[in-house]
Every structure is written in C-alpha cells, then in structure tokens.
Structure 1
Amino acid sequence: MTIDIDIFECRGGDILACDIVNKDGVKLVSRGTTLNDYIIEKLKQFEINNVKVIYPPEYIKKNRYNYEKFEYGYKKSIQLVKDIVNDLSTGKALNIDKVTSATELIYEHIHQNDICMLLNFLDRIKVTDEYTYLHSINVAFYCMLLAKWIDLSEYEIKKAVQAGLLHDIGKSRIPTSILNKPAKLTNEEFEIIKKHPVYGYDILSESEFSDLDIKRAVLLHHERINCSGYPFGISGEKIGLLARIVSIADVYDAMTSNRVYKKKVTPFTTFEMFITEGYSGFDAYLTTEFINHMATYLIGSSVKLDNGENGKIVYIPPNNLLCPIVYSNGEYIDMKKSNIRIIEMI
C-alpha cells in the first residue's frame, strides 16, 4: 500500500514509493529509498511538500521474524546447492527437484519490504569461506532483483533465479585444485576454467532440464556485448536477456566478495567499473537499472573511511552514484568535494 503524506509528517524509515524530482525534473531521490533525517531536510529545502511512501504497518513488527525466516531459507538453499554440486561431482544426474526447491526458497523474498534486509544479509554473509556455493545463491538473488526491477513476469523472474543458481554448475567438472588456487591462475589453468560454461550447458542437456533460455544463459553468461567474452565471442542480442542479466549479477557478486585469490571491493568501486568500462561489455540498460536500484539500498549502510574513521551513508545522489554523502564524527562528508574515500562496508 502507498500513501501520500506531508513532508513534515515523514519519519526516518519511511520508504519512497515514487522518484522525487525538483522543479526542473532532476531526480533528487530514487523510488525505494529509505528516508532518514538528512534526506527529509534536503527535500524540505527543495520545497518538496508531499511524498508517496510505502506503508505496511505490520512490517516493523515482523522484521525480526522476516530476518530469521530469510536466514533459514538462505542456509537451506546453500545445502541444496551443495547437494546438487556434490551429486554432479560424483557422476550423478542433476536433481531438478532440488533446483526447483532452491528457486522457490529464493523467490519467497522478492517483496519490496524484504529487499533491504536481503541485500544487507548478502553483504554480511560474504565473509564466510564457502564462496563456490554462496556465489551461486547470491547471483540467483541479484538476478531475481534485476529481473523484478525491469518488470519481468513472475515466470521470467523464476527463470532468472534458476539461471543464476545454475550459471556455474559446469565448475563441478573443473579440478578443485584450480577452483581453490590461492593465487593467480596460469594461462593454461584459465583456459580450463573458461570451459565451465560449456560443461554447464552439457550437464543441463544430459539431464531432463528442458528450458532452452536457461541453458543458453548458463552457456553464455561470460559473453560480452563487445565480443570480448567467452566461449564464443558473440555480441549483443545474440547473447540473450537471461545471460545478460546473469553476467551483471555474476560480476557484481564476484567483485564484492572475498575470494581465495582476491579481496572484495566496495559496491561503489564496482559501480565505477560498470560506469567507466562496463557499458562496453555489459547491456547498458540492464546495468543502469541494476546500479541505480542497488544504490538506493546502500543508504543507511555503515562504512569505514580511508582516514581511519567510521561513518554512515545518508544520501546517494541519483545523478552521481559514486559520490555518496557520509555522516561521520558529527559532520556530513560529500565525497564529491572531499578526498576522503570509502574503503570498506561494515
């Protein structure tokens, strides 16, 4: 439910139901943003009199229950993915029932009120050491969100979830000594890794899994629209929508996760990669939708700054996602005007 309220009745925690624009049509705050005192005061300064907010009164009461339910479902999904990978590693067929069960567990959390909690949980869970399994689950969640944000149907969103879950299934045929190597791969080892999309496609084709779109997404999720990807070096529309969705979710989670050979970076570093070089390799429309929506859920996040202090993100300008406003030690730091930078999400 959405309600239209006076700006002076807004309170921290209200969630915007619509974009807020100024008199010139410039976006000030994006739909889905959780309001705080800083944003509310800025809206007053811009003479914004009324805003539409999402208002489910029962949400605050159920928040703890929702978190525990999500954590339970997430852990159950991890176990299902482990079972699937272990079965494949021992020569068993793909268990489609387990894929379906994991898909349904993930899809349960598509609703607006769960997204902020979901993303916070995904960021925290990345400190664990089960990257291979967690990555598949996380990519499935990011695929679900991106598919939702571009208004795909429930049927297509669930396909995106399955594509995310299965995108790296071919790695079950890659030696663990290569997958878990705590150093940069040799050229020969990387050539072996690059076979996993084909292996994944083969695994799905050898099973009773019949959805061609998902199989193509598994096969093509490392392709890039500028022909720089693998295994075929194809471009543009030939890659297919699901594969283009998975490619963005895959790279975002990989960059913002600790891996055996590389430390994670902040979401802002990942945004910068997408904005400065990513548009040549990734679908521009999908990338823009993804980072614009993701940014709204970073507001309120605690961060570590390169001056040794901690702070909290209070605002991210929609027209400059790389320069948030951070509250630290009693002052607001505008990253556009300051040399201080965020080095870690905490």
Structure 2
Amino acid sequence: MDKNVKELNVNELLPGMILAREIRKNGVKLLDKDVILNSKFIEKIKKVDYLLQVLVYDNEDEDKQIHDFIVKSIKKLNEKEKVFGEISNKLDNICKEIEVNSKISMTELRNVQKNLLEESKDYSSTMRSIINGRDVDEYIYRHSINVGILSNMLGKWIGLSVKDLNLLTYAGILHDIGKIRIDSKILNKKSKLTSEEFRIIKTHSVIGYEIVKHIPYMDENVSMGVLMHHERCDGSGYPLKLKDEKIHTFGKIIAIADEFDAMTSNRVYKKKQSPFKVLEIMQEEALSKLDFKFWSIFLNGMVNCYIGEMVKLNTGDVAKVVRMDINDISRPLLLVKDDFIDLKERKDIFIEDLI
C-alpha cells in the first residue's frame, strides 16, 4: 500500500478526510476518488456496509493534498465560470431585445433555464462559482442566474413539484428584469442613494411584474414571484408591504436566494462577504423578515454543502470544515493540517472564503 494512504474502517472516518480510492459496493460506485468526506457521505457509506474498509490519504501528505485540491478546484471553477458566463450573456441578449422591441423570446428564455439547471447539478462546484469574486460590471445578469440556481436548490429542498420548480426557476432568473427600465446611473451609483433614487430603484419589482405578465403563456405564479421578491414577513418590504401568508411562496423563496447572492457578491457600493458570515447575518434577519420555515431549510441545506469543504483563513492557512453549529454559523470546527481548531474559542481567526 502507498505510504501516503491508510486503510480505515468506515467507523473510523472523520469529516474532512479525502478518499484515496473510489468506493464501490457490488459493482456500484458510491463515491469518487479525491472526494472530501462530510458527515452525510460517511452515513451513506455506513448504511451500505458498516464493515467496509476505506482508503484515505494520510495526513503526512496533507500539503500535497491541499495543493492538488486547490489546483483541481480552480480548474473546475474556471470551467463553471465560463459556462455560467455564457448563460449570463444569453440573458443579457434577451433583456436587450426587451428594451428594443418590448418582446421576449420564450424559446431563448427556455434555453437559458434548461442550461442553468443542467449545469448546476453539482452543488459543490456550483456554490463555489456563485460566491466567486468577479468584476462589479458582471453583477446584474450573473446575479439573476445565481438567484435562479439558488431558488431552484431551495425549492428542491422544500419539496416543490417539478412543475413548480421550473416556474420558480423562471421567476428567479427574471426577478430583477424590471431594472432594465431603471437609469443605469442610479443602478451603478457608488455613493449613497437619495430618497428619490431609492424610490425609483424600488419600482423595479412592479416594472418586472408588468414585463413578465405580458410574456405569452407564462404562468401567473412567475410574475407574482417577481412582484413580491422584496416583500418581508413583518410588512417592512415593498412594493405592497405584505405580511406572512399574503406573500407568494415564490416571493419568499427568491427573497432568501436574492439576499444570499447579493451579500456574497461584489457590488458597486459594497464588497462581498464570506458565505459563512452572510448566513450568520441572515439568521438574525430570519427571525422577523424572512419566512422562518424556508430559511431553516435553506440554512440546513447550506450547512450540508459546506461540511467537508476547504476554506481560506485570515491567517493564510487552508482548513477543512469538520462541524458547523447553526447557532454560530461563522465559527465552525476546522481541521488545519493535523490540528483541530474551534473558531468559537479562537476569535482572532476567521474564514475569508471557500476555496
């Protein structure tokens, strides 16, 4: 056996370990080589065969593992960025057609949605792409693509039907389409908006509703999601100041996806924040403004995505996320080389970003 590899019983596995060989059972592949184990993967293996012996990389080869993982992650990220960039450009062209002819190509829009859903099946690389830092001028259309993906993810976790998932994804993609009728000087303003400029910005959800409502054969639920994505459960949102059950389900879902992507992206007036910090901030807001049931599902889904992932720390170190506490999202238990670090006890260390 390779000296950089060790064989462990499935009960000895820990989140953060990296598979040195694919796992198969009765000819069926369970997990690929080089997968970073999280608690969900470990439980999956145990259910199949609790006596299974698994090959993982030895910690002595940690530096090489990290280097190889980063190289592979960057390659995957670049591939995803290229694909999602192309989808964003297609959405850009659709919006330009609306500006010129006040018409929308349902065929082109359907292709955007289809491509988006196909390319976002791999949650891990998709999430890295969503929170990846990019130029501010890429924000508007890429944000719409990201919100479509995140809304679809949350809709799946909630258990929506296939039909509703498709409609929800359309609503996510089109949620900000009303901004094509807002002066770009206001949209791209770096300084604080005046009260009048903010009033104008807030009209985008009604403008978007009117645009989507007139798309031939488009389901009404899509336009309602576009209209209500800035409503908040305590009545503090806009444009109708609706509360709780009066807000359309799509509006509640898109509200969560919209906030998460906006806060993890570079914008003209604000730099992106760590996705862990964003979840922590949104957790506080969820108590009154966001639908708490949907938020809880989103939070647990994101936690499952992040456990076992590698992150960059402010110290310059690379670490693996071993365990997360939903009551203290930004301070998980980490594995740094062969040492465990609990960020709850190390206030001087924080996560800057996913790798």
TM-score normalised by the shorter chain: which range applies? 0.7 to 0.9
Q: Which runs of 5+ in 1 are unaligned?
A: 16-32, 55-62
Q: In structure 2, what is the Cα distance between the partners aligned to 1:291 and 1:214?
A: 24
Aligned to 2:323: 316
Aligned to 2:96: 86
Q: In structure 2, what is the Cα distance between the partners aligned to 1:293 and 1:65?
A: 25
Root mean square deviation, CA, Å: 3.3
Aligned pair count reads 308
Aligned to 1:107: 117
Aligned to 1:121: 129
Q: In structure 2, what is the Cα distance between the partners aligned to 1:268 and 1:257?
A: 13
Matched, 1:155 2:172: no
Are residues 304 and 108 of structure 1, via their aligned partners in 2, closer, same or farther at CA, if it must alter by over 3 Å?
Answer: closer
Matched, 1:264 2:272: yes
Q: Which of residues 9, 12, 18 is equivalent to 2:18?
A: 12
Q: In structure 1, what is the Cα distance between the partners aligned to 2:205 and 2:79?
A: 33
Shift of 1:335: 1.3
Q: In structure 2, what is the Cα distance between the partners aligned to 1:172 and 1:142?
A: 22
- Aligned AA (1:134): R
Structure 1 length-normalised TM: 0.79
Q: Which has the larger radius of gyration?
A: 2
Q: Which of residues 41, 46, 55 is equivalent to 1:51?
A: 46
Q: Work out whether residues 313 and 350 of structure 2, in 8 Å CA contact, stay in contact via their aligned partners in 1.
A: yes
Are residues 314 and 303 of structure 1, via their aligned partners in 2, closer, same or farther at CA, if it must alter by over 3 Å?
Answer: closer
Q: Which of residues 205, 216, 219 is equivalent to 1:208?
A: 216
Aligned to 2:259: 251
- Aligned AA (1:144): N
Q: Which of residues 182, 206, 227 is equivalent to 1:174?
A: 182
Q: Work out whether residues 6 and 49 of structure 1, in 8 Å CA contact, stay in contact via their aligned partners in 2.
A: no
Q: In structure 1, what is the Cα distance between the partners aligned to 2:93 and 2:141?
A: 10
Matched, 1:233 2:241: yes
SS at match of 2:137: coil
Q: In structure 2, what is the Cα distance between the partners aligned to 1:172 and 1:257?
A: 20
SS at match of 1:312: strand
Are residues 152 and 121 of structure 1, via their aligned partners in 2, closer, same or farther at CA, if it must alter by over 3 Å?
Answer: same
Q: In structure 2, what is the Cα distance between the partners aligned to 1:49 and 1:228?
A: 43
Q: In structure 2, what is the Cα distance between the partners aligned to 1:88 and 1:155?
A: 26
Q: Work out whether residues 168 and 200 of structure 1, in 8 Å CA contact, stay in contact via their aligned partners in 2.
A: yes
- Aligned AA (2:113): T
Q: In structure 2, what is the Cα distance between the partners aligned to 1:50 and 1:292?
A: 21
- Aligned AA (1:311): V
Are residues 301 and 275 of structure 1, via their aligned partners in 2, closer, same or farther at CA, if it must alter by over 3 Å?
Answer: same
Aligned to 1:27: none
Aligned to 2:346: 338
Q: In structure 1, what is the Cα distance between the partners aligned to 2:12 and 2:277?
A: 35
Are residues 34 and 152 of structure 1, via their aligned partners in 2, closer, same or farther at CA, if it must alter by over 3 Å?
Answer: farther
- Aligned AA (1:267): P
- Aligned AA (1:313): K
The 10-residue stretch of structure 1 (69-78 or 336-345) with the greater mean CA deviation from structure 2: 69-78
Q: Which runs of 5+ in 2 are unaligned?
A: 1-8, 23-34, 50-72
Are residues 260 and 92 of structure 1, via their aligned partners in 2, closer, same or farther at CA, if it must alter by over 3 Å?
Answer: same
SS at match of 1:315: strand
Aligned to 1:35: 37
- Aligned AA (2:320): I
Q: In structure 1, what is the Cα distance between the partners aligned to 2:230 and 2:326?
A: 29
The 10-residue stretch of structure 1 (191-200 or 78-87) with the greater mean CA deviation from structure 2: 78-87
- Aligned AA (2:103): A
Could you list the runs of 4 or more consecutive aligned residues of structure 1 that deviate by over 6 angstroms after TM superposition?
Answer: 63-69
Shift of 1:170: 0.2
SS at match of 1:90: helix
